[in-house]
Structure 1
Amino acid sequence: MTNKTIELLAQRRTQYALGKSLPHSQDKVEALIKQAIRLSPSSFNSQSSRAVILFGAESDKVWSLIEAELRKIVPADAFASTEAKMKGFAAGAGTVLFYEDQDTVRDLQERFPLYADAFPGFSSNSAGMAQLAVWTALAEEGIGASLQHYSPIADEALAQAFGIPSSWKLIAQMPFGSNEAAPDEKTFIEDEKRFVTLGR
Structure 2
Amino acid sequence: MQTNFIDLLKNRRSIYALGKNVTATETELNQLIIDAIKETPTAFNSQTTRAVILYGAKHDQLWDLVVERLRSEVPNEAAYEKTKQKIASFKAAYGTILFLTDTATVHQLENDFALYAANFADWAEQAQGSAQNSVWTALAENEIGASLQHYNPLIDEAVQKAFDLPAGWTLRAQMPFGSIDAPAGEKEYMADDQRFKILK
TM-score if structure 1 supplies the norm length? 0.97
| Residue 42 (structure 1) aligns with | 42
| Residue 164 (structure 1) aligns with | 165
CA RMSD between the two structures: 0.8
Letter of the structure 2 residue corresponding to residue 151 of structure 1: N
| Residue 155 (structure 2) aligns with | 154
Q: Percent identity, aligned pairs only?
A: 47
SS of equivalent residue, structure 1 residue 142: coil
Letter of the structure 2 residue corresponding to residue 195 of structure 1: F
| Residue 4 (structure 1) aligns with | 4
Letter of the structure 2 residue corresponding to residue 95 of structure 1: T
Aligned equivalents of 2:90 and 2:3: distance in 1?
32
- Number of residue-to-residue matches in the alignment: 199
Q: CA deviation at 1:61?
A: 0.9
Residues 50 and 100 of structure 1 are in contact (CA less than 8 Å); yes or no, is this contact kept in structure 2? yes
Residues 23 and 143 of structure 1 are in contact (CA less than 8 Å); yes or no, is this contact kept in structure 2? no
Specify every segment of 5 or more residues in structure 2 that has no aligned partner in the other structure, as ranges. Answer: none
Q: CA deviation at 1:2?
A: 4.3
- Deviation >3 Å, runs of 4+: none
| Residue 120 (structure 2) aligns with | 119
| Residue 191 (structure 1) aligns with | 192
SS of equivalent residue, structure 1 residue 147: coil
| Residue 87 (structure 2) aligns with | 86
Deviation string, structure 1 residues 68-94 (Cα, Å, up to 9, x no partner): 111011122311221111000000000
Letter of the structure 1 residue corresponding to residue 144 of structure 2: I
Deviation string, structure 1 residues 77-117 (Cα, Å, up to 9, x no partner): 31122111100000000000000000000010000001111
SS of equivalent residue, structure 1 residue 79: helix
Letter of the structure 2 residue corresponding to residue 26 of structure 1: E
Residues 23 and 142 of structure 1 are in contact (CA less than 8 Å); yes or no, is this contact kept in structure 2? no
Aligned equivalents of 1:127 and 1:158: distance in 2?
18
Aligned equivalents of 1:159 and 1:20: distance in 2?
25
Letter of the structure 2 residue corresponding to residue 119 of structure 1: F
TM-score if structure 2 supplies the norm length? 0.97
Aligned equivalents of 2:55 and 2:34: distance in 1?
14
| Residue 103 (structure 1) aligns with | 104
Aligned equivalents of 1:130 and 1:52: distance in 2?
13
